[in-house]
Amino acid sequence: MNAPVILDRRRVLAGGGALIVSFSLTDAFAQDQSAPVASRPGSLKGAPFLDSWIRIDADGSITVFTGKAELGQGFKTAFQQIAAEELDVAFESLQVITADTHRTANEGYTSGSHSMQDSGTAIQNAAAQVRELLVAEAARRLDLPAENLRTENGAVISPDGRRLSYGDLVAADMLHVQAQPKSKLKDPTTFKVMGQPVPRVDIPAKVTGGVAYVQDMRLPGMVHARAVRPPSYGAQLTECDTSAIEKMPGVVKVVRDGNFLAVVAEKEFQAIKAMNALSAAAKWKETPSLPKQDDLLRVLTSLPSQDSTIFQQSDPSAVGQKTIEAVYTRPYQAHGSIGPSCAVAQLVDDAMTVWTHTQGVYPDRQGIAEMLHMPPASVRLIHVEGSGCYGHNGADDAAADAALIARALPGTPVRVQWMREQEHAWEPFGPAMVTRLKASLDGNGAISDWNFEVWSNTHSMRPGGAGSMLAAQHMAQPFAVPAPKPLPLPEGGGDRNAIPIYKFPNAHVVHHFIPAMPLRISAMRSLGAYHNVFSIESFMDELAAAAGADPVEFRLKHLDDPRGREVIEKAAQGFGWQKGQKAPQDRGFGFAFARYKNLAAYCAIATEVEVNRETGRPRLVRAVAAVDSGQVVNPDGLINQIEGAIVQSMSWTLYESVTFDDTRITSIDWQTYPILRFNSVPERIEVHIINRPGQPFLGSGETGQGPAAASIANAIASATGKRLRDLPLTRKRIKDAIDA
Amino acid sequence: MIALKVNGLYHEIDADPDTPLLYVLRDEIKLNAAKFGCGLGQCGSCTVMVDGKAVLSCVTPLLLLEGKQVTTLEGLGTIEAPAPIQRAFMEEQAAQCGYCIAGMMMRAQALLQRNSKPTDDEIRAELEPHLCRCGTHMRILRAVHRASRLMDTADASPTVHGRAQ
């Protein structure tokens, strides 16, 4: 780990432009060598060489590379399953290397439920094509037609039982060829590893105290740093006498660069004590700049916005008879990682290495290189797991902190971990949002006209440039925060899932993009889909009630998509949903559905919620979900994601909002930003999977967030007869609604 | 110097007496399982056992621990020879990111050592000080129930050290 820059063979070859392919192999791939890049599957588009994904050494050991970062979703295990399946090798015989700017392809961010679609698809196709190359080579050596050969357990086998292992077959640069657009993928009915609930490869170390996280790294000579963050956005450091702090036990250095302030000590607790002293010594000039927390509806809808109609459909023959309207709001919400962000950095011979739990090693490298005025090639970012992030939390900022401090201590590895209050106050929050809906029902109780407006900031201020990182913003020569941009459709940001999946004769959807960001915000799991789906699916229930229709039947009436219909039916059936059935006393049933981004996994969730009418306290009793995520690789991993989405979304939906006064963020720990605890965990959660063998992988990490929120809101409405439209649906709001 | 027994081994700790146990475990003894989560005793990710009781190591200063026996997750078992609680969490795949899990497991272990057959309500009540952000709660509950069953059939005592004396 002390040699930060390693140029491996593949990189040297790529850099030198060498492309050495033996004749037999070019023959094997002769037809399509110049295929257009865009037609390659998944991330093979951007990184077409097979050996960017799969390396086989002469001893037969196989390494799989992914540019995505394992964040606790378990895809490292899923990728290993995919590669083992298509290569025909034992699961245990593979090793998966995740995001590292010196080893893996640039797959951008690990976000948007893209890992399976992008990287999983690339690995599947690369593995299949590598297997084909190995078979072709064996055919050449054995002088047999390739179709007479089969593969098994890391070897090609001839009809007469001769066995050539992959290690024997692989030649120096055999895999350094560009992928073909099409692969001979295995028939899903023959899968041995894919589709199985293979235990996660990372769990054993995590439950036995092994080194599992960047927080656990201990490099020789490593020191510990803590930053002292400003007390509020834009605060200026006016005075800081560091002389006493520099004399404190163990203190190695105080680093000050403009408003960036940090202290380094030999031991971690010494660094914390010094940080506290430094914090007390620092004097800041603060400027009140925050909006009124209780008035977000007015704040958001009155800020200047760039408005665009993102969907328009008209059919004048459809005429409404009854019209209803509703406004829904979402507060700022926090990622709230349990482990505050952490990074380790080391500067050796003008090369900076940063070990980080960032979701994007390449974009983050660009930002850090820019901040340090170093060439990107001299900066290496290596992903190491951290605490779950659920989007853009403090990870990138901690990486920048570590790099900036490590630059001041050449040769010495520096570990920085944020404090709880720093994570809570400084992470970029999930943006507050407002939606306004208006719809009409025709004489048959069908929706004839649908109007949807959403007001939102962007949902990504992720690095690329240095200006996205706190350390770079706070330096004496600061980098400006880049201008926010709306994320483009079809995936969208604030308008993610704003376009209804249902079929309405008339529909009009407007995105009010708000460039001004009163609070620091960025990507949080599912982006705008959480609030848009909450709004659409709550409103569908309001319309169903107005039409006197059953909520499940009402959704099906407006939905053509057969996979969506099947998911809805499956969840309803699993829940025991019956038209017109009454929930037990003080309980309600709720239902909601969405297809994430209208192009990823389908998810429907039915819930039963109990409301204590005296206190207003809601309790999720049970949830039943159905999910269609395309071809399933690891069913238990998928179930784990959906269970987690339901529980996390329930916490967002019932409890969570960032609080602030006119100057400071005031929700700075778990007392002031309470989240779900065990006394509110449901009695049971069931997840039903609809597997689609041979179909593309659909991302599933975020598909549950929106439906869970709306399903719970609908169940509360069913239990109380009162519709709540402002998130979170707190005990007080429910109680006030009951008493109103 | 303060003498501390951790996972059955004596350590002479050269740290300020106000140093929270968490930093002694991570920084001085180089253990990984106990995690920094909040430093405020609000999240449970730093939980270890002291004389068989679950303790929040981030708010427990070293000076209170002279002569005590500390058990961390490392003291219960290993990857090769996992303790029942560790086997149970592996078998239930009871983690997503897993950052909170070591603390949960230590409190669950302390519970199971004094009550080998806890009810679901007792487990939920016991785990109340612990936060999990990934939403792995259902699996964690199942894993504690499974650990209870495993302890019934296997030797309940941890494989290496750490049983309350």
- Residues from chain B contacting residue A605 (CB–CB below 8 Å): none
When the pLDDT of each residue in chain A is averaged and rounded to a whole number, the result is 94
Element containing residue A13 per DSSP (H, E): helix A9-16
Query: Tens digit of pLDDT for each residue in B84-142?
Result: 999 999 999 999 999 999 999 999 999 999 999 999 999 999 999 999 999 999 999 99
Q: In the numeric block, which tokens belong to residue B119? A: 């009810």
Torsions phi, psi for A356 (to 5 deg): -150, 155
Could you tell me if residue B164 is inside a domain?
no
Window 13-32 of A: residues touching B by CB (8 A cutoff) are none
At B128 the three-state DSSP class reads coil
B136 in the same domain as B101: yes
- Within this chain, do residues B47 and B90 fall inside the same structural domain, yes or no? no
* pLDDT above 70 coverage of chain A, percent: 95
Range with the poorest average pLDDT among A36-40, A478-482, A690-694: A36-40
User: Is A611 within 8 Å of A626 (Cβ atoms)?
Assistant: no
Instruction: Evaluate whether residue A295 is within a structural domain.
Output: no
DSSP 8-state code for residue B25: I
| Tokens 């059953």 found at | A550
Bridge partners (DSSP) of residue A578 are none
The pLDDT value given to residue B119: 98
**Chain A residues with beta carbon closer than 8 angstroms to that of B36:** 215, 339-340, 417
What whole-number percentage of chain A has pLDDT above 90? 93
- Give residue for tokens 């449901």: A682
pLDDT of residue B156: 46
Residues of chain B numbered 136-165 and touching chain A (CB < 8 Å): 136-139, 141
B118 touches chain A (CB under 8 A): no
* A327 located within any domain: no
Q: Is the model's pLDDT at B72 over the cut of 80?
A: yes
Is residue A32's pLDDT more than 80? no
Same domain assignment for residues B48 and B97: no
d(CA A184, CA A133): 11
Task: Return the CATH number at B137.
Answer: 1.10.150.120
Does any CB of chain B come closer than 8 Å to the CB of residue A675? yes
**ipTM of predicted assembly, 2 dp:** 0.94
Q: Specify whether A442 is located in the same domain as A581.
A: yes
What pLDDT does residue A171 have?
Answer: 86
pTM: 0.94
Q: Is A178 helix (H, G, I), strand (E, B) or coil?
A: strand
Minimal CA separation from B149 to chain A, in Å:
18
3-state SS of A317-332 is CCCCCEEEEEEEEECC
pLDDT digits (tens, 9 = 90+) for A121-151: 999 999 999 999 999 999 999 999 999 999 9
Q: Do A215 and B35 touch (CB under 8 A)?
A: yes
State whether A219 and A194 are in the same domain. no
**pLDDT at position A16, please?**
31
Residue B78 falls inside a structural domain: no
Asked if A640 and B35 come within 8 Å (Cβ–Cβ), the reply is no
* CA–CA distance, A563 with A603 (Å, rounded to integer): 10
**CATH number of the domain bearing residue A698:** 3.30.365.10
Q: Do the Cβ atoms of A210 and B79 come within 8 Å?
A: yes
What is the per-residue DSSP string for A80-126?
Answer: HHHHHHHHT--GGGEEEE--BTTTS-----S-TT-IIIIIIHHHHHH
What letters, b where the CB count within 10 A reaches 16 and e where it falls short, cover A136-149? bbbbbebebeeeeb
* Within-domain flag for A552: yes
Residue A720 domain flag: yes
Task: Give the bridge partners for A623, in sequence order.
Answer: A607, A685
Flag whether residue B134 sits within 8 Å of chain A, measured between CB atoms: yes
Smallest CA-to-CA distance from A633 within A48, A46, A119, A94 is with: A119
Quick check: A72 and B33 CB within 8 A?
Answer: no
Report the pLDDT averaged over residues A477-506: 97
> Rounded to whole angstroms, how far apart are CA atoms A536 and A710?
8
A165, A200, A235 — which closes off a domain? A200
Residues A446 and A550 in one domain: yes
If asked whether residues B141 and B88 sit together in one domain, one would say yes
CA distance B18 to chain A (A): 10
Q: Which one, of B56, B58, B63, B71, lies nearest residue B15 by Cα?
A: B63
Convert A251-317 into a string of H (helix), E (strand) and C (coil): EEEEEEECCEEEEEECCHHHHHHHHHHHHHHEEEECCCCCCCHHHHHHHHHHCCCEEEEEEEECCCC
CA distance B46 to B23: 10
Residue with tokens 């979900």: A625
Domain count, chain A: 3
- Looking at the fold, whether A57 and A116 belong to one and the same domain comes out as yes
B135/A215 CB distance under 8 A: no
CATH number at residue B31: 3.10.20.30
CA distance A356 to A101: 12
Closest CA to A499 of A423, A597, A403: A597
Question: What integer pLDDT is reported at residue A659 of this predicted model?
Answer: 98
3-class secondary-structure state, position A227: strand
Is a pLDDT exceeding 60 seen at residue A419? yes
Q: Are residues A142 and A249 in the same domain?
A: no
Answer whether residue A326 is part of any domain: no
Question: What is the mean predicted confidence (pLDDT) over A233-248?
Answer: 97
The reported pLDDT for the residue numbered A678 is 97
State the angle between helix axes of A635-655 and A705-720 in degrees (0 to 180), rounded to the nearest 10.
Answer: 50
Domain enclosing residue A504, as ranges: 433-459+494-739
Q: Which residues contact A709 (CB under 8 A, 6 or more apart)?
A: A530, A533, A534, A592, A649, A650, A652, A653, A727
**Residue in chain A nearest B92 by alpha carbon:** A199
Kindly compute the dihedral angle of the four CA atoms of residues A174, A176, A177, A180, in this order, to the nearest 10 degrees: 100
B110/chain A closest Cα distance in angstroms? 16
Residue of A nearest to B41 (CA): A670
A339 and A223 belong to one structural domain? yes
CB-closest option in A212, A218, A337 to B133: A337
Non-local CB neighbours of A240 within 8 Å, separated by 6+ positions: A256, A261, A278, A281, A282, A283
Residue contact B36–A213, C-beta within 8 A: no
N-term to C-term CA, chain A: 63
Of the candidates A264, A351, A253, A343, the one whose C-alpha atom is nearest the C-alpha of residue A2 is: A351
What is the predicted pLDDT for the residue at B154?
A: 63
Closest CA to B33 of B80, B74, B79, B85: B74
Instruction: Examine residue A371 and state whether it is found in any structural domain, yes or no.
Output: yes
Residue A339, chain B, CB below 8 Å: the answer is yes
Taking residue A582's Cβ as centre, other Cβ atoms within 10 Å add up to: 10
Tell whether A411 and A439 lie within a shared domain: no
pLDDT at position A39, please? 87
Rounded Cα distance, A724 and A366, in Å: 44
Question: How many other β-carbons are positioned within 10 Å of the β-carbon of residue A313?
Answer: 15
Instruction: Tell me: do B68 and B9 sit in the same domain.
Output: yes
Which among A203, A338, A681 is the nearest to B99, CB-wise? A338
Q: Tell me: do B132 and B109 sit in the same domain.
A: yes
Contact A479, A371 (CB under 8 A): yes
Task: Inform me whether the C-beta atom of residue A681 falls under 8 Å from chain B C-beta atoms.
Answer: yes
Query: Is residue A35 scored above 70 in pLDDT?
Result: no
Half-sphere exposure of A272 (CA within 13 A, CB side): 20
pLDDT of residue A572: 98
pLDDT band at residue A38 under the 50/70/90 scheme? low
Q: How many CB pairs under 8 A join A and B?
A: 181
Distance CA A144, CA B161 (A): 60
Other CB atoms closer than 10 Å to residue A444's CB: what's the count? 9
Residue B158 lies in a domain: no
Specify whether B97 is located in the same domain as B127.
Answer: yes
Sheet containing A306-313: give its strands across.
A306-313, A506-513, A447-456, A433-441, A322-330
- Please state, in angstroms and rounded to a whole number, the distance separating the CA atoms of residues A720 and A184: 56
Cα separation of A486 and A484, whole Å?
Answer: 7
Question: Order of strands across the sheet with A379-383?
Answer: A251-257, A260-265, A223-228, A414-417, A342-348, A351-356, A379-383
Chain A residues whose beta carbon lies within 8 Å of the beta carbon of residue B124: 678-679, 681
State whether B88 and B135 are in the same domain.
yes
Q: Measured between CB atoms, which of A207, A338, A651 is closest to B45?
A: A338
- Average pLDDT of span A1-21: 34
Q: By CA distance, what is B101's nearest residue in A?
A: A207
Q: Is residue A318 part of a domain?
A: no
- Residue A350: CB atoms within 10 A of its CB come to 11
A 244-303 residues inside an 8 A Cβ radius of B: 249, 267-269, 272
B67 and B6 fall within a common domain: yes
Q: Measured between CA atoms, how close is A677 to chain B, in angstroms?
A: 6
B36 part of contact set with chain A, CB < 8 Å: yes
Q: Each residue of A606-663: pLDDT tens digit?
A: 999 999 999 999 999 999 999 999 999 999 999 999 999 999 999 999 999 999 999 9
Same domain assignment for residues A178 and A249: no
Question: CA neighbours within 13 Å on the CB side: how many for B56?
Answer: 16
- Distance linking the first and last C-alpha atoms of chain B: 24
Quote the number of domains for chain B.
2
In the numeric block, which tokens belong to residue B107? Answer: 């409190």
What pLDDT, on the 0 to 100 scale, is given for residue A13?
36
CA-to-CA distance for A700 and A703, rounded, in angstroms?
Answer: 5
SS3 content of chain A, % helix, strand, coil (to 5): 35, 20, 45
For residue A490, cis peptide bond before it (omega within 30 degrees of 0): yes
- Paired residues of A437 in beta bridges: A326, A452
- For residue A226, which phi and psi values (nearest 5 degrees)? -135, 140
B136 belongs to a structural domain: yes
Cα–Cα dist A655/B59, whole Å: 26
The reply to whether residue A678 touches residue B98, judged by beta carbons under 8 angstroms, is no
**What is the span of the domain harbouring residue B125?**
84-153
The answer to whether residue A442 sits within a structural domain is yes
Q: Please count the other Cβ atoms lying within 10 Å of the Cβ belonging to residue A189.
A: 7
Q: Which pLDDT band holds residue B161 (cuts at 50, 70, 90)?
A: very low
Mark whether A166 and A258 lie in a shared domain: no
φ, ψ at A457 (rounded to 5°):
-70, 180
pLDDT band at A36 (very low <50, low <70, confident <90, very high): low
pLDDT in tens, A40-99: 999 999 999 999 999 999 999 999 999 999 999 999 999 999 999 999 999 999 999 999
Report residue A179 as tokens. 């992928």
> Measuring CA to CA, which residue among A533, A389, A333, A492 is closest to residue A73?
A389
Confidence at B155, pLDDT banded by 50, 70, 90 = low
* Residue A514 sits in the same domain as residue A582: yes
Whether the CB-CB separation of A567 and A687 falls below 8 Å is answered with no
| Whether residues A219 and A188 fall in one domain | no
pLDDT of residue A389: 97
Cβ partners under 8 Å of residue A727, min gap 6? A328, A329, A330, A331, A531, A534, A652, A653, A657, A709
Residue A110 near residue A360, CB atoms below 8 Å = yes
Among the three residues B72, B99, B132, which one is the final residue of a domain in this structure? B72
Same domain, B41 and B101: no
Per-residue pLDDT of A423-467, as tens digits, reads: 999 999 999 999 999 999 999 999 999 999 999 999 999 998 999
Distance between CA A465 and CA A479 in Å, rounded?
Answer: 9
Cβ burial, residue A23 (10 Å; 0-12/13-18/19+): exposed
Helix (H) / strand (E) containing A63: strand A62-65
- pLDDT tens for residues A492-541? 999 999 999 999 999 999 999 999 999 999 999 999 999 999 999 999 99
Q: Do A202 and B19 touch (CB under 8 A)?
A: no
Among A178, A200, A222, give the residue marking a domain's end.
A200
Token readout for B22 is 């968490």
Say whether both A546 and A406 belong to one domain: no
